[in-house]
Amino acid sequence: MKMWNRKMALALGVLGLVSILSGPTHAAEKKNQVQVLAQDCSLAETTAEINECLSKEVAAVRKELNQASRALLDAATKMDAESEGLTNAVSSAVRSHVSWIAYHEAHCEVAGTTMAGGSAQGMVIASCLIEKMRERTLELKALKKEISFE
């Protein structure tokens, strides 16, 4: 019975009703993330419709992440140029992001194993990717502000 409850909770998490796939984040921020996903996919009824909706959401969130990454790299480039060789912000930012990509892909793959072989496995992975990319986008934006002295 415990395994069924866990799988059901994970499936509900995919639909944006609960979130149990990651570590602690700010409660208000997590609530907003869940509401956005629930609103975006509220009309999806079939597995195929949910997967299509989540795929679009992944693409939109990835686009925002890439914009934040680009903005951070621009700020890091400016910082390196102004420091006359005293900083290596660009290489540090690149190494950090490459490592994060490997982490989030592996993390979400593990989360997906909770539904291994089931029709919800892709939904769990996509939901996890969305959550992790949103968190990373906020981290990159905050870091950009720090190194830009904003």
Return the higher-pLDDT residue of 34 and 86.
86
The answer to whether residue 22 scores a pLDDT higher than 90 is no
- Provide the pLDDT for residue 150: 74
Average pLDDT over residues 62-78: 97
CA 138 to CA 144: how far, in whole Å?
10
- Provide the pLDDT for residue 40: 62
Residue-wise pLDDT for 77-126, tens only, equals 999 999 888 889 999 999 999 999 999 999 999 999 999 989 899 999 99
CA 120 to CA 9: how far, in whole Å?
12
> Residue 101's closest CA among 62, 72, 67, 138?
62
CB 131 within 8 A of CB 19: yes
54-61: long-range contacts, CB 8 A cutoff, minimum separation 24: 54/14, 54/122, 54/123, 54/126, 54/127, 54/130, 55/126, 57/126, 57/130, 58/126, 58/129, 58/130, 58/133, 61/129, 61/130, 61/133, 61/134, 61/137
Q: Residues 6 or more apart from 119 whose CB is under 8 A from it?
A: 47
Residue-wise pLDDT for 48-62, tens only, equals 889 899 999 999 999
- Sign of the torsion angle spanned by Cα atoms 67, 31, 116, 103: positive
